[in-house]
Structure 1
Amino acid sequence: MNRIISIVLATALLIVGAAFLPSCSDSDAPADLKVGVIHIGDPGAGAGYSYAHDQGIIEMQKNLGLKDSQIIRKNNIADDDAAATKTAIEECIEAGCKIIFGTSWGYMETMAALAEQYPDIIFSHATGYMSNDTNFNNYFGRIYQARYLAGIAAGLKTKTNKIGYVAAMGIDNSEVTSGLNAFAKGIAAVNPDAVVYVKVTNTWFSVDLESQAAEALLDLGCDVIGQHCDTTAPQLAAEKRGVWGCGYNSDMTPEAPKAHLTAPIWNWGVYYTAAVKAVVDGTWESFGNYFGGLKEGFVDISPLSENCEPGTQEIIDQVKQLIIDGEFEVFDGKQIKVDGTNVTIVDEDLTDNQGNVIVAAGGPCLDDATITGGINWYYKNVIEG
């Protein structure tokens, strides 16, 4: 489920460009509204990508007072199966859904086509780049900010100075690569001697392949395992070996209590509440595409576990606030330096692992379009496994 955001999406935090949709009528009051959700996995798994999305849907229900009967879920819909995707969406439409959320990249083109076919239904797609000016938008966030914070926890924890990373996609995928680079830069901020080994699975969701990649990284001597993939398998592998890890999408401490440090996580409820409220209020025409971050509370890290090194919380709290305040940006020509638990910002080249300077010391942050669609290089401390 490639979560790349296009140049079109990345040009603003909240893009307003939709033309006029019919306003919700009296019959579309909350008691009558139905919301469709298409999941690539099973939210009942209790952790991971689909679970995180569904927690956001549940939060939206509570915020807006919707009943369970008003949410139509379609689970385990493979995003590379256009026919299954079309069937699931049309079943939501037949059930009376006014807005349908597709949570995986591969749903994009099917949703775009159906948006033309059903102009009175709103289609909202996570991660992609396609949208129109009426009833089809996309949404994602600055998860790389949270990955930088997780990198700090990993860099402080490692004893071998070897950190592994299970990546769903390779260097050509900017979403994955920007996240890996942010994680690696966070590590370098607190541990410039550490290196990050990456193994690519070429799939978003595979317990077997994620386990195999994690095991290979552990065999290299990595004692912290990060991930950009959808299952808990890398964290379980770390726990089995007696080392540590940083999960993704949801707090994976319950699954790997002796290993897990923290995880970059989403608060999808921020978006789902705003989107459904716009439908209820009849204000969707001014809603547009969405790209939120730490400042909006859309992304964060899960609570640090007791496995983290002393002082980690104090350091991360300071860096998080610097990002929220706009004083530090992950992909600019600056870096965090730590002395004990004191945090400062210094000018430093943003450099790839081939020695190329991406941003000169003191230079401005890469723009959103580049971050989400043009990072096809690895940070200086990353080694391809």
Structure 2
Amino acid sequence: MFKLEVYSKLVVSSTIAATVALFAAGCMSGGTAPSSSPASSELSIDGGVTYPVVNGKTGPYHVISVSDEYKKQNNGRVPNHAELKKWNTDVMASYVYNEDPTAEGLPEGEGSVEEGEALYEKQCVMCHGDFGSGGGGYPALSKGNAYELQKTLKNNRYKDPEADGPVRLFGSYWPQASTMFWYIRDGMPHPKSDTLSVNETYALTAYMLNINEMIVDGEEVDDEYVLNREKFLKIKMPNEDGFEPNIKGPNTLPGVKAYFGKAENFGAKNLNQGAERCMTDCQKPTAKTKYIQNGGIKDFIPDMNTVRDLPVKEEVAVDPKEVYANACAMCHSAFLSPGAPEWAGYTAKGMDKVYANGINGTEGGMPAKGGANLSDKNFKTVVDYLVNGK
């Protein structure tokens, strides 16, 4: 988790830099930067080029000036340290930016796997399934040994169609255990979040490590394992170093800028696109990239059933007189009753228009299909009865 004050600076600077880069990088001309780059230009957070304002322009683009009236507005103030500390609920915020984590937000406490299992069975199993297997639309928390599952993250199915796809679970995918501690503490159990004690949070986290068959500082997290603050700081997740770019350490921002400054780092070279930044049609299929045609995820495991049609229902004909009596007569007995001559004023534009008005409803008048649960075909039969009287 990012520390709040650092995160705030990152969000603001990233947003501004990304906005400037969107124009300065020349997205209107395919995403390449102007050839006449000022010597003082620099990379933005996403690798685009930002340019200094010279004569009211950045590169070839004009800058929207901020009016004096806007400058007079009260846009708030910088929060003080006490406010930031109160709002900051991160567990190990400094871990992201420092090689040596201070874990200032991680409280003292302890909890055993056995206690965590009891809590899980009482408050979690109904959503996340037995042993974290998932179910009912809620995510799985474990599928077995995290170290074995983590290996699937390294399999590139673009190169090997037979390779197992990545398994994205807590143990095999998440880079920091502190995220699990924070999420349990602040978000679980639904809908009674923030009701667990510190010790209960440690216990449930220990159980998560247990069902993922994790090892902490050389010790297997078995049924007797007790997790505390000291042991927590020694947890090394299997996929801790599996994300790019690396955002750990004091040189995070320049490192990210440099990473995204090379398009081959995020796929351009592998996708046979060269090293230029790309804004449109970036994933052109080739013999090596047949799995990303038209974009989107195609390589689900197991393969998804592409047929999504609803079961075909056998349509049963209705008696239009009966439908009229039950659903239409309340209004139509006084207005446009079956076979009334006034229908001629509505059918002059064709029956298709009459059908459409009935099926879709009319503003301030008839509701769609008069509120009846009928297929379009059966509804048209009722309309024919109303118009013709037979």
Length-normalised TM-score, structure 2: 0.20
TM-score by length of 1: 0.20
> Which structure has the larger Rg?
2
